[in-house]
Amino acid sequence: MKNKIATAKLERQIIKSMKSFLEKEDFFEIFPPKIVRASGACENIDTLFEVGVEGNLHWFNPKNPHRVYLSQTAQLYLEAFTPYLEKIYSIGPSFRAEAGDDNRHLTEFTLLEIEFSGKFKKLLKYIEGTIYSAVKDILLLSEKERKAMNIEKKDIERLKKISIPFPAITYNEAVEILDIPFGDDISPEDEQKLTQEFDNQPLFITHFPNPLVDFGKEIEVEKFFNMMPDPEDKKKILSCDLILPFGGEAVGAAQRVHDPKELKWRLNNSKMFKRLQEKGGKLSDFNWYFQKMEEKSIPHSGCGFGVGRILEFIKGKDDIRKVITFPLNQASII
Amino acid sequence: MKNKIATAKLERQIIKSMKSFLEKEDFFEIFPPKIVRASGACENIDTLFEVGVEGNLHWFNPKNPHRVYLSQTAQLYLEAFTPYLEKIYSIGPSFRAEAGDDNRHLTEFTLLEIEFSGKFKKLLKYIEGTIYSAVKDILLLSEKERKAMNIEKKDIERLKKISIPFPAITYNEAVEILDIPFGDDISPEDEQKLTQEFDNQPLFITHFPNPLVDFGKEIEVEKFFNMMPDPEDKKKILSCDLILPFGGEAVGAAQRVHDPKELKWRLNNSKMFKRLQEKGGKLSDFNWYFQKMEEKSIPHSGCGFGVGRILEFIKGKDDIRKVITFPLNQASII
């Protein structure tokens, strides 16, 4: 248990730092549901867990039975509160049916999510502030405390060099630096190459290409349905990933579309929704969200912080199983 | 959304108070798993949710596939840390497949759980302290803040009268007062009668009868398998419930058996485990826990606080659907 205790101490430390930064910035904690309709799905539809009772996967809503899933993201629930509480966050498990037993994927991990009434530039500032305050708080620990968390001197030296503002490049710039074809995903190996190019600092990659556009008109939504197209270039979206040394993609973020009509169009015409339908998902799975957006909706943005990947960055490890207290994957449920 | 915002504000307030009390008492937060083997089951086995992927309920551990469930309690995971961190807590969703749509049951609710190295008397003090600090903090709010949480004057007047120590009676005394047969469960209606008998204060009911005893020897374990029999009367267990006006049973607590051999005997001979086996549960579901108890185990105790029922008490409402932000039951998944 000795290693596990050190791990638990660092995990708690980082989560405390991040929450305390957000609380100081007046973010308000809510407690969103974990058993959800498809409205709790992220882009990665294929990894939805289903929930049943006595073998029955249609136990909920007996009058009109439907499938339910384990939440991958609380985003849509948080979004509904932005017109009233301005800045919201939640922290809890995110569930992904990722097969196998490897250094990057878990079936369950702690996800800290924020949403606020504001735009893309402010979003980058909140992400930077949250990560930077976690690093700064580590540097304020006593040597005894660091030892109790198994943090090594070389990692302290490395973390001392982290500075703000974090470098930021566009997706277009990233593929140019990496010399990979436009449109390709950036692999975990390439992510690490990029952070090395930028002095081993956390690195924002922004403005991912998104919509399928024909004669200037968007015809299909490729990414998560409510990411906001860039008003200056509608082939891009106002999204960003934060790439960390060791941890890789630790934060996924975007400004959200907030016009309810456009939201419905985008969901209906998204690749994500087509895959959802194959799984039994329906437009009505999103009723609660659409209803809230129709009641009141304002420009808003948000993101999710993968706590495990931030811990990899702090500890200088590239195996997520080594940095969290309960690393759970397909092979290791306890 | 106006009511929902007020509800979210009070929910956040109460959770903050309780956590802040525990942090001041040096409790350490951990983040236990939610997809679990039967080791995440509470007494109420029949309400376990199962987790699957693409209709397959045996997706986990492909070499030796087994069922997995949604956690009802993090208790066993917390217990494993008591020899090293002394005082532990966690907060997160507890899942129960309770059918229907009524004022007392949800399929998912926020559960705050604590475990610490210590005995029964200390346990009652921590429970009392946690609940009392939540009440006191409400009384410290400004009128504006209370208004924003929809707390009425009559409830403030009622909460002003809450005092410590909370009254405590044994199960035997409770059935005598209620004039119900020994061995019966105490119904929600009878719980409310009891709190009225005790000046509408939170009320501890302690020392529930438990083991089936034959010629002075325990032959079957009726309640949760690791509740500690009272050394002074082995027909009783060192357990207690805290009954709140309006909310009813809001906390379930016990000192735990910590001897690994006795734990195995008790699980093997428990009614709970027989029902688990019918559901496909195995002794090996508890391997992680038994292994940790064998590595190191000390006298320890703990409990779970049902946040929704505490909110009913604060608000003076007897419908759990009215006091939490996301009231989810079989009929209302969003």
pLDDT of residue A183: 86
DSSP A228: P
CB-CB under 8 Å, A49 with B50: no
pLDDT of residue A251: 98
Alpha carbon of A332: minimum distance to chain B alpha carbons (Å): 7
**Contact of A98 with A329, CB cutoff 8 Å:** yes
Residue A16: CB partners within 8 Å, gap ≥ 6? A137, B29
How far is it, in rounded angstroms, from Cα A321 to Cα A314?
A: 14
Alpha carbon of A147: minimum distance to chain B alpha carbons (Å): 16
CB-CB under 8 Å, B33 with A334: yes
pLDDT of residue B279: 84
CB-CB under 8 Å, A63 with B331: yes
Length of chain B: 334
Q: Where are the alpha helices (DSSP H) in B238-286?
A: 260-268, 271-278
Over range A61-89, report the average pLDDT: 95
Length of chain A: 334
How far is it, in rounded angstroms, from Cα A74 to Cα A309?
A: 19
Alpha carbon of B4: minimum distance to chain A alpha carbons (Å): 9
How far is it, in rounded angstroms, from Cα A153 to Cα A149?
A: 12
Q: If we measure between CA atoms, which residue out of A242, A321, A308, A318 comes closest to residue A10? A: A308
- Residue B330: inside a domain: no
Indicate the residue type of A21.
F
CB-CB under 8 Å, A97 with B53: yes
Nearest to A326 among B32, B54, B59 (CB): B32
Nearest-by-CA chain A residue for B51? A51
Question: How many CB atoms sit inside 10 A of residue A71's CB?
Answer: 27
- Order of strands, sheet of B87-95, starting from the edge strand that comes earlier in the sequence: B28-29, B87-95, B108-116, B300-306, B248-256, B239-244, B203-206, B168-170
| Residue ranges of chain B whose pLDDT lies below 50 | none
Residue A298 has pLDDT above 80, yes or no: yes
Residue A201 has pLDDT above 70, yes or no: yes
Nearest-by-CA chain B residue for A111? B31
Q: Which residues of A touch B84 (CB under 8 A)?
A: 1, 5
pLDDT of residue A237: 94
Nearest to A51 among B11, B70, B84 (CB): B70
pTM to 2 decimal places: 0.97
pLDDT of residue A327: 96
Over range A297-315, report the average pLDDT: 98
- Residue A87: inside a domain: yes
Which CATH number do you get for residue A157?
3.30.930.10
Q: How many beta-carbon contacts under 8 Å exist across A and B?
A: 167
What is the tens place of the pLDDT at every residue in A95-142? 999 999 999 999 999 999 999 999 999 999 999 999 999 999 999 999
CA A288 to chain centre: 22
Query: What percent of chain A stands above pLDDT 90?
Result: 89
Least confident of A250-254, A294-298, B50-54, B280-284: B280-284
- Order of strands, sheet of A28-29, starting from the edge strand that comes earlier in the sequence: A28-29, A87-95, A108-116, A300-306, A248-256, A239-244, A203-206, A168-170
Strand partners, B170: B206
- Residue A331: inside a domain: no
Q: What angle do CA B132, B299, A146 make, to 5 degrees?
A: 80
- Residue A229: inside a domain: yes
Structural domain for A300, as ranges: 2-322
Q: Which residues of A touch B16 (CB under 8 A)?
A: 29
- Residue A99: inside a domain: yes
Q: State the total domains in chain A.
A: 1
- Residue B115: inside a domain: yes
How far is it, in rounded angstroms, from Cα B185 to Cα A326?
A: 36
Question: How many CB atoms sit inside 10 A of residue B177's CB?
Answer: 14
pLDDT of residue B215: 63
- Residue B189: inside a domain: yes
- Residue B327: inside a domain: no
The model's confidence at residue A215, banded by pLDDT at 50, 70 and 90, is low
CB-CB under 8 Å, A35 with B28: no
